Structure 1
Amino acid sequence: MITNDISTVFYRGYLSYLRERGWDVTIISRDTGKLTALGEAEAVDIVDVDMVRDPSPIQDLRSLVRLTRAIRRVRPDVLVFSTPKASLLASVAGWLLRVPVRIYHILGLRYETESGIRRRIFRALEKTAAGLATETLAVSHSLAELVREERLTSRVVVLGEGSPFGTDLRRFNAEAVDIPALDAVTETFLASRGNAFRLLFVGRITGDKGVGDLLDALVLLAARGVEIASVIVGPGEDAGLERRIDELVTEHAIRRVGSVSDPRAYMREVDILCLPTLREGFGQVIVEAAGLGVPTITTQATGARDVVVDGQTGLVVPVRDGVALAAAIERAAGDRDRVREWGAAARARAEEFYSTERVWRQYADHFDASAR
């Protein structure tokens, strides 16, 4: 159960794997067309239930009624729900119908960087979903720690080293034959920077992703004469940050790229990934870059600090600290041999803990045990 079918990309292969393990799988979500395509590709049942992400009491009540009817028809032994709105509604419906195993698959805490009334409301919703579940599955150990600290529930576990769905390390591999070509403008930009240290950011352009701290760090590095060629990839969700990026593009050697369907072309062409995030559930993009042998500089934020071993597969700096971030980037730029060693170690760690084969097996084994 998920709120809408935007997230269905993560379920490719996973649902058919569960089916091969003997499960009769149904996925419930709002369908804009992607859900139907997923059901056909994975040979699983789909149920379209209209839901909206933002609070809407009347619409939410309608969705709850439809969802309850859908779950009653399916009669699941195990109900797994993730994403905030779907989790709230599914936890209520599953509890009302007394579904024996109700698992909240928690991908992160949206309210972690909120304040005031919004924080209190979102926390209450998370506590409701977790409280009505028979178990909460967190996608990282630091997220599980936060769930306990926030007293959302004590019934929280992590499978292995975490990960929501695993990473296809055959696809995220520098030798993969289907990696698309780099766009011409970015290729020209990188070529024009000569031997500059190449840095990549991939993610939503928001304060939560630490983009402001990254820009602060790049300004400091430019003032010190450290040559950095930075590529920023992802959808723009903060007009103020976009304006600031535009102001810095020429002076500080920044190439702004919008949303891309496949980040591998960019990952393959850089020295390091930088994710100065304020919160994550799990640092998925870090593992994807690791697959291509690219290490990461990230922060001690929830869900990010689990994935990078400081000084071995990258560097970890304090949250909201542009000065420390600049120092870490400068350290990496000054020792490229060490950066390559970090990249090789990051790939090895990804293979050990985060492959789809390992993670899917952990989930299937857990569902088998839960249903006994």
Structure 2
Amino acid sequence: MTRPKVCFVLTDAVSYQMLCRGQFEYFRENSNFDITFISGGSKQDFDKLRERQVGKVLDAKLVRKPSVIKDIKALITLTSFFSANRFDLVVYSTPKALLLGSIATLITRHNNTIAIIRGRAYENFFGRKRKLYQLLDKLSLSTSKRVVFISESLKEAYLNEGLISPTKSYLLGSGSSNGVNTDKFQPRNLVHDQPFTVLIAGRICVDKGIYDFAEIITHIQNKNIIFKLVGPIEDFSSEALLSSLMSDNPSIIHIPYTDSIEDHFIEADLHLFLTHREGFGNVAIEAASCGIPTFAYDVIGVKDSVKEGVSGKKFSFKDTASIAEAIDKASIDPHFNQRYTLAREWAIENFDQEKVWNNYLSFYNSVLKESS
């Protein structure tokens, strides 16, 4: 029996590790796909991908930032490769891979294509700049046979803005692109005798809410609350702001890097998620899996990853005063964590990793069967 040839295209090889950890190993064990991975990226990230032994690998020299010369070269590489190699299914995702992959497959008449939308960098853009990005999205999606969104609110945004037809739009299960490892992210089983601790996990930059955090700090009344920020600083202005905040507030702690974020979740009482845009807030379901509630903005992508009253609480965008008030109340509420005892159950029911992986595998199999 001929093995279905499936090609995945992402902009950077690191994304196969960051966005799809474990997923392709699951495909290897539960399908007979002959998989090829295409992207740009560093030698180190390509080596890590090859070490996983989940498929063949091609460096097409894709780059994240706009570069006319590099993008044309990458498009030529993709088009040449797809001309010489026929696939039963091509799946592309992340902005540059989405654009160039959709063009290359159109030119080479690969008709069975799936675009996965993980979010949009232009969520908070306005005017002509936003319209340009919308036009590029519309172009890419118009040539794609099917489009999978990783959250319902993201899908609705594209539909409401007329960027996609409802007939080709899909949401698999409850959303998410890779689910949560509920064995790794477990509730704490240690005596919690430290002050009320708020965890902020992820990149530290404007879009992830560092300036919003600064506003919240000015409103906080309980000065015994510990704020722990875990993640790399993205830019100079964010670094300067955080440095200033830490010098004025000894209760603010910054940990630049960890490969065990679950250890920080189990030491926290609350997860604070101030991102301005997201395709799906995976960090919020990781917190939920640990039994830790999340306070977050009610924005696209995030609203799907926080269940009001079950895994946390959602606030209007930029309403930092209300968030600070809620944190203050939580910090003196002896029953706070007991109010979110169903968080882990909700995370397991909707986003357990193998369930999410199986949603994608079943979808790919159904597409292949339909086109055979």
| Match status 1:277 vs 2:275 | yes
User: Corresponding residue for 2:82?
Assistant: 71
| Match status 1:213 vs 2:212 | yes
Structure whose residues are more often helix by fraction: 1
Counterparts of 1:106 and 1:350, CA distance in 2: 22
User: Corresponding residue for 2:47?
Assistant: 36
- How far is the alpha carbon of 1:364 from its aligned partner? 0.8
Q: How does 1:1-372 map to 2 (within 5 A)?
A: 1-9=9-17, 10-19=19-28, 20-32=30-42, 33-154=44-165, 155-174=168-187, 195-221=194-220, 224-225=221-222, 227-252=224-249, 253-342=251-340, 344-371=341-368, 372=370
Q: Which moved more, 1:38-47 or 1:307-316?
A: 38-47
- How far is the alpha carbon of 1:11 from its aligned partner? 2.4
Q: Quick check: 2:188–2:266 contact (8 Å CA) kept in 1?
A: no
Q: Quick check: 1:315–1:328 contact (8 Å CA) kept in 2?
A: no
Counterparts of 1:218 and 1:272, CA distance in 2: 15
Show structure 1 runs of 5+ residues with no match.
177-190
Q: Quick check: 2:222–2:328 contact (8 Å CA) kept in 1?
A: no
Counterparts of 1:340 and 1:49, CA distance in 2: 51
- How far is the alpha carbon of 1:226 from its aligned partner? 5.1
Q: 1:74 to 1:11 in 2, by over 3 A?
A: farther
Counterparts of 2:75 and 2:195, CA distance in 1: 54
| Amino acid corresponding to residue 159 of structure 2 in structure 1 | R
Secondary structure, in 3 states, of the residue corresponding to 1:201? strand
Secondary structure, in 3 states, of the residue corresponding to 2:123? helix
User: Corresponding residue for 1:184?
Assistant: none
| Amino acid corresponding to residue 220 of structure 1 in structure 2 | H
Identical pairs, percent: 31
Counterparts of 1:49 and 1:298, CA distance in 2: 38
Counterparts of 1:112 and 1:255, CA distance in 2: 30
Q: 1:238 to 1:34 in 2, by over 3 A?
A: closer
Q: Quick check: 2:20–2:177 contact (8 Å CA) kept in 1?
A: no
Secondary structure, in 3 states, of the residue corresponding to 2:119? coil
| Amino acid corresponding to residue 16 of structure 1 in structure 2 | E
- How far is the alpha carbon of 1:362 from its aligned partner? 0.6
Can you list the C-alpha shifts for 1:154-189, whole angstroms capped at 9, x where unaligned? 23211111001112211222479xxxxxxxxxxxxx
Show structure 2 runs of 5+ residues with no match.
1-8
Secondary structure, in 3 states, of the residue corresponding to 1:358? helix
Q: Which moved more, 1:21-30 or 1:37-46?
A: 37-46
Can you list the C-alpha shifts for 1:234-271, whole angstroms capped at 9, x where unaligned? 11123223222222214331012213233122112110
Q: What number of residue pairs does the alignment pair up?
A: 353
Counterparts of 1:161 and 1:234, CA distance in 2: 27
Counterparts of 2:147 and 2:299, CA distance in 1: 20
Can you list the C-alpha shifts for 1:212-234, whole angstroms capped at 9, x where unaligned? 1122112211xx34531000111
Counterparts of 1:240 and 1:321, CA distance in 2: 22
Secondary structure, in 3 states, of the residue corresponding to 2:296? strand
- How far is the alpha carbon of 1:336 from its aligned partner? 4.1
Taking only aligned residues, the RMSD between alpha carbons, in angstroms, comes to 1.9
TM-score (norm 2): 0.90
Can you list the C-alpha shifts for 1:113-148, whole angstroms capped at 9, x where unaligned? 123443233222222211111111000000001111
TM-score (norm 1): 0.90
Can you list the C-alpha shifts for 1:321-364, whole angstroms capped at 9, x where unaligned? 1112112212322324232441x322111110111110111111
